[in-house]
Amino acid sequence: MLKLGLAGEQFKVVEGSLVNYDFPQTEDLSIQGVKNSRVSFQILLQSDEEFLLTVSANPVFDKRGPVNILRAEVTLPGLTPELCLVGLMEDDDRKLKADPLLHQETIAVPAWRKQAVWVEAKLPENVPCGEYQGKVRVLSHAMFADEALAGELTFTVKVHNVTLPKPTGRRFYLDLWQHCANIARKHEVTLWSAEHFRILEGYVVSLAALGQKAVTVIASEIPWSGQRTYQDRNADADLYEYSMIRLRRDKEGIFHYDYSALDRYIQLCFQHGIDREIEIFGLCNIWLGPEAGFHCRPALLDDIRLRYFDEATGGYRFIRESSQIEAYIQALESHFRRLGLLEKVRIVADEPADSELYQERLAWLRETAPGFLYKAAINHIELLGKQPEKLVDYVPQFPFLCLYSQRLPELRSKISGRFLYYVCCGPDHPNTFLRSPLAEARLIPILAAYMELDGFLRWNYTVWPDHPRERIVYRPEAWPAGDTNFVYPAPSGKPILTLRYKALERGIEDFELLQSVKERCANWRQIHQRYYSLVLKEQDLRLYHPDCGKRADELYSLQETDYEQARLLLISALEKV
């Protein structure tokens, strides 16, 4: 017997969960949409017999023989729906949970397992407003038998007369750090080769579609010391980050700097609209590991690791003299000035643990290259109050903002640049782990709007362990599954998007709608308050701190219907003006 149902985009199949095995809807589904956006939902199938599911009109036979073959199709006159299968990934609790939006057209489904199909239709700027009636059909056959209708459901899409800016023009400041070296490793291509850049473009396009604003540049060798994977001697992960700049010292002792890979990557990102910021890692707050040999120059203020080819010896060496490090940094500053990009550059420190030492390093860098500006991801809140010179962009971790939530307006007024927030391996909620409800990924931009911040940062776009298509679990005691990635690598070279990616994208749209209401509606405060009352069960951010021990469902809604009702409130207000 086949069960067929429809669910919203925030539904997540969890194998073995009785709650998730209830079909949430089997009748008409009504979906609201705006222009320059998308409408999405999921088809859910479950049978007491194994079957092969396809979302393509291409012929397919099951390698196991005469297994029942189901074909899902969606018709939506006036729009172009696309279907893709939703894959399952093993979580830390060993349960399979829905996440990747697979590129493959068919999948074998065991008996009693629920299988989801993601359905999405783009709504371009010129799409006519109005209602669109859609139909889902599932057809069945085995071997050479004729297809027969196995199930049919209907749905409605309403396109409202509201237009979002295109992703590159949206106000939400998204900063997902890029890890180009890991992309090269997982796709088995040579670092900075033409093939590497061909693959990188697919990832850049996926980031641009979210509205990414910053280009990640690595300007020295392994500034994070490979996330210290050396602490796990049997680690199933290679996370080393390599410089985009090649150095050479000629026989006369003169250094030459090759910026070709750096410039090409920046140009690639700019070409796709990622052009607000160039964030540079590797010049400040290098992560150390002296007990394992990860300390190149013990006598200097910071452990900037610069590898160069020495023509005199015919071998590679590392710079150890401060004057040569300073010359390198000054040359990099001059390079960005020549390109006319210096005002976009930020030298980034990731979680400086020692506030005084960090300020010493900043002072040295300011003296060495006075044209640079600085940014920090902060997990020690005292830096917010010290305001070092030229540290313009601040990105505190979410729990610290909870502690200081009553002072956010005051702190914001003192910051000359951007004020974002981040989550990483903590807090437990809200977050974007594989185990996290999809509502939390959607909530993250909404919280940025609620706190009146500029946006959100995360470290994890492609920091996969080895063999990520097989298993994403790695260091679960520190990094819950999904902490290291928003997408997966595909054999084609293009990224495999995820349900978490889509939920974050939807939240960014909600942020944009909130800003539009604020700009265009005289009664925006009342509208915002009604919006937040639907989404946030607790509006005192101090209660969101992990020490308060509140469950996620005590702090905010996990129900997609609440988010959609809140979104419709904003859409309706904008339609009136």
Tens-digit pLDDT profile for residues 119-138: 999 999 999 999 999 999 99
> Residue 25: its pLDDT value, please?
55
pLDDT at 18 over 60: no
Structure tokens at 566: 């809140």
In angstroms, rounded to a whole number, what is the distance separating the alpha carbons of residues 217 and 178?
8
pLDDT at 19 over 70: no
Mean pLDDT of 329-336: 98
In angstroms, rounded to a whole number, what is the distance separating the alpha carbons of residues 133 and 146?
27
Mean pLDDT of 415-419: 95
In angstroms, rounded to a whole number, what is the distance separating the alpha carbons of residues 319 and 321?
6
pLDDT at 27 over 80: no
Nearest to 392 by CA among 262, 279, 243: 279
H-type helices in 405-495, by residue range?
408-414, 438-450
* Cα–chain center distance at 525: 30
Enumerate the β-bridge partners of residue 554.
none
pLDDT in tens, 132-170: 999 999 999 999 999 999 999 999 999 999 999 999 999
Strands 214-218 and 277-281: parallel
pLDDT in tens, 252-267: 999 999 999 999 999 9
Structure tokens at 53: 């599911």
pTM of the entire structure? 0.97
Structure tokens at 387: 């305001």
pLDDT in tens, 479-514: 999 999 999 999 999 999 999 999 999 999 999 999
Structure tokens at 300: 């200097």
> Residue 20: its pLDDT value, please?
46
> Residue 387: its pLDDT value, please?
82
pLDDT at 24 over 70: no
> Residue 384: its pLDDT value, please?
75
Cβ–Cβ under 8 Å, residues 299 and 320 = no
Task: State the SS3 of 325-349.
Answer: HHHHHHHHHHHHHHHCCHHHEEEEE
pLDDT-based confidence at 15, cuts 50/70/90? Answer: confident
Q: Is the peptide bond before 165 cis (omega within 30 degrees of 0)?
A: no
Strands 148-163 and 130-141: antiparallel
